[in-house]
Amino acid sequence: MSHADARRRAVRLRLAILLVAFLPVALLPVHLVAASPANAGETYAGRAGALVAPYVEAGLFSGVVLVAKDGQPVFRRAYGLAEREWEIPNTPQTHFRIGSLTKAFTAAAVLILAEAGRLGLDDPVRRFVPGLPEAWAGVSLRHLLQHRSGIINFTALPNYYDQIARVDHTPGQIVALVAGEPLLFPPGERFEYSNTNYVLLGMAIEAASSLPYPQVLRDTILTPLGLKETGYDDLTAILPRRASGYRRGRAQWRNAVPMAASSAYAAGALYSTVDDLLAWNEALGGTRLLSAASRAAMFDDLGTGYGLGWFVSRAFARPGEPGSGHRVFGHAGSIPGFLSINDLYPDDRLSVIVLSNTETAPAQKIARDLAALHLGRYEAPEEIVLEDLILDRYPGTYRLGPRAFLTVARDGRGLTARPTGEPATPFVPESDRTFVSRVADMRLTFETEPDGRPTGVILHRDGRDRTGPRVSEEEARAALAAPPATHREVAIDRSGLPALAGRYALAPGREIAVTAQDGRLFAQATGQPRHELFPEGERAFFLRALDAQITFLADEAGRATGLILHQNGYDTEAPRLPDGTPGRPRALDKGRGRQRG
């Protein structure tokens, strides 16, 4: 190439970059990387492998993936290590703890007993579990199945993962942990995910059948369907090809906190393999296990987004057409060291199963992208090549919170970004100012001066934007080295605490529920334990169990309009939701599916 040609190419590249920079993100050119469903069988496996590879290379995913069409695998591959101490690799035959995927099996057992006349879905739970609180008298088995009981989630207790989950418990002991807590709402009023619901269902199954819950599953589901690789977990038993669970901590892999299966019981105690879960999905497509009426009931969400043991939604809907898209029945599982996804697209006869033995795995994103790839709906940004001059502008430090910083570095033809206390994530350019991660739902947009010098960054993550200025490394080091503020409880007029109660939106699908009880204030984030708030001012509170504080915002009349959560170095504002706003399940493609249990 001549010098003149090189100069002309550089000019064209700069013009293209400038044009892209002024386009809205939604209008960026995209291309379909999936083949159409008609000929996907020839090329799908290779393209699926290329889609998963970045997650593996980034150290985020370890586990097994299976995609099946019409009951036949079209992509089935294992990644990473089942046992890190001995460097034993995962295989498609590896057994994983599947957490809340257990709930679909529990729901099926209830439906089988209902078909046999042993129970009715609208029977009160107190018919089968004596001694429950009088306040639970209106709770039916159907309320439990659909998470509409109002009973508090026992895995949200502050000491659940540190203490309760580590030792064996009877189902009665688990229920007793929350029996003294008031209902969150009248039974049937709205959806609120709670593992306690499915523990009670397991107890009802035992009462109606006069058999232990694990035996009922074996006799009515596992043995009839030939699911020999699925069972009720027992960490004291020798289970061949059992995966160990891992988490990241202090920038290295660590063994996950041990969890007794009995502490999850009918809400999340099963283990399985991808092949058994595919056979399970296929059985639910016919009358081999359940009658047509029972299957219809299982996947009828009554408008709540949750049926009986399954989330019910549509994926890949066209903008402005809420009824479009592909029907999907799915669930996620999340227990210490393991994440799992089982998505079933009934009209497409498509199953996507992801089982992982690391807590870092973006299992839900992998599952949805693999489905989109097979259905011809996967879209990826066009490759954009930026000059070194542009890429070299952005490395530096950006402040996202009082004690939270983002360190940006050059990485080949892209960038990496590392939030305080987290590993670095690679980003590729969408334009000369916008970069996107291919391994996480994250985007960087740089604020610049007219000459291109960056002055700040916008980090889009978890459904919200955080904006921060560019700062020096010395400023960041000084902020992180400063001792944290001390917090001391003070006396306040507690008659005003009920005015602070309500639900506050942290991000899409995530909220903080604040309740007042007996002159005390409590806060509970979605999927997290409930904690008491201790006052250090009329509207300022701190938590003793966590390094976190909450400041309430109020209007001129003194009514709370929102709050600011101070945690992990960030200040996160959460507006108050209008009273009576219905609770909704967390969307499958936004992480709802990830519920503990």
Domains in the chain (CATH in brackets) are 75-379 (3.40.710.10), 388-481 (2.40.128.50), 494-581 (2.40.128.50)
Return the SS3 of 314.
Answer: strand
Q: Tell me the C-alpha to C-alpha distance, in Å, between residue 441 and each of 330, 353, 426, 435.
A: 20, 20, 12, 12
Tens-binned pLDDT, residue by residue, of the chain (597 aa): 443 444 333 333 333 332 222 222 222 222 223 334 434 445 899 999 999 998 888 788 999 999 999 999 999 999 999 999 999 999 999 999 999 999 999 999 999 999 999 999 999 999 999 999 999 999 999 999 999 999 999 988 878 887 888 999 999 999 999 999 899 999 999 999 999 999 999 999 999 999 999 999 999 999 999 999 999 999 889 999 999 999 876 557 889 988 999 999 999 999 999 999 999 999 999 889 999 999 999 999 998 999 999 999 999 988 877 778 999 999 999 999 999 999 999 999 999 999 999 987 889 889 999 999 999 988 875 667 888 989 999 999 999 999 999 999 999 999 999 998 888 999 999 878 889 998 888 889 898 887 778 999 999 887 788 988 999 999 999 999 999 889 999 999 999 899 999 999 988 878 999 999 889 999 988 877 788 999 999 999 999 888 899 999 988 877 899 999 999 889 999 999 987 665 554 433 333 333 334
> Which two structure tokens, joined as six digits, stand for 45?
């496996």
Identify whether the C-beta of residue 541 lies closer than 8 Å to the C-beta of residue 494: no
CA distance 177 to 158: 11
User: What is the full DSSP assignment across 178-220?
Assistant: TTTSPPSS-TTSS----HHHHHHHHHHHHHHHTS-HHHHHIII
> 553 — phi, psi (to 5°)?
-100, 145
pTM assigned to the model? 0.75
* Beta bridge mates, 43: none
Identify whether the C-beta of residue 567 lies closer than 8 Å to the C-beta of residue 560: no
* Beta bridge mates, 405: 399
What is the rounded radius of gyration, in angstroms, for the C-alpha atoms of the chain? Answer: 25
Helix (H) / strand (E) containing 143: helix 141-145
Q: Tell me the C-alpha to C-alpha distance, in Å, between residue 360 and each of 58, 202, 416, 593.
A: 10, 30, 18, 15
